[in-house]
Amino acid sequence: MTHLCAAVIQTRSGRDIARNVEETSALIRAAARDGARYIQTPEMTHLLEKSRKDLFSKIATEEADAGVAAFARLAAELGIHLHIGSLAIRTGTDSVANRGLLFGPDGQLKARYDKIHMFDVDLPNGESWRESATYAPGEEAVTVDLGEVRLGMGVCYDIRFPALFRALAVAGAGIVTAPAAFTRQTGKAHWHVLQRARAIETGSFVVSAAQGGKHEDGRETYGHSLIVAPWGEILAEIDHDAPGYALAELDLSQVAAARGRIPALANARSFTLREAGALTEGAR
């Protein structure tokens, strides 16, 4: 029976990249000491910055980014799969990707994923977000093998789009992910149910590290990093918004067991959609 010890790292990232990398690295080391072999950090691990001008003044290309280099070294030092939930990565003079990175135990980059769904919303409390004004959306779903299990990569708002997670599961992912910086308002309303729903629908483990608390740029995030089993049970949760980490032992045989009990992936059928017209009197 194959198992994987997984950990979620919860942070409260600010405006100083070096400090964020240092604080996150300390939590990663602690989780690794406790036995985690796959460790995930939240969306925007090394910088949360609302100001577009200030964001562009601080970020770099993937090749030049100090956080990318530091986390690659750390993965090799600890001999772990290190999933950096996302970083703001410059992709051109005026373009940025919200990019997740997966480093192998040798420190080599195994996968990158650019967040597909942009958080462009107006919330009831007056918050307004236009992620597409700064970030270029990705166009490709991504899976990557972690030895005995395949992992599917998502980021934050992606969790609200079941088709993406179904596609990852159909492609063989037994773990799907949504590292996040969920707003406090939407997190309180929907975070837990969305994570559990994606797990149940796909028969997959869902692992989602989160930002939490009041950040230097003024935003508030929900925290409550989660690891959910394929049957929908919460295996581990950081049940607050402060920095920390949580671990769970994933029994990978539960993926096949859940999909065997409720074979929703196998039973899905294609269909057409039509708009029904008015029924005739005789057919009523």
Give the active site residue among 23, 49, 115, 201.
Answer: 115
Q: Give the 3-state secondary structure of the chain.
A: CCEEEEEEEEECCCCCHHHHHHHHHHHHHHHHHCCCCEEECCCCCCCCCCCHHHHHHHCCCCCCCHHHHHHHHHHHHHCCEEEEEEEEEEEECCEEEEEEEEECCCCCEEEEEECCCCCEEECCCCCEEEHHHCECCCCCCEEEEECCEEEEECCHHHHHCHHHHHHHHHCCEEEEECCECCEHHHHHHHHHHHHHHHHHHHCCEEEECEEEEECCCCCEEECCCEEECCCCCEEEECCCCCCEEEEEEEECHHHHHHHHHCCHHHHCCCCCCCCCCCCCHHHC
Query: Has 50 been annotated as catalytic?
Result: no
Give the active site residue among 23, 49, 156, 201.
Answer: 156
Give the active site residue among 43, 49, 110, 201.
Answer: 43
Query: Has 43 been annotated as catalytic?
Result: yes
Task: Provide the annotated active-site residues.
Answer: 43, 115, 156
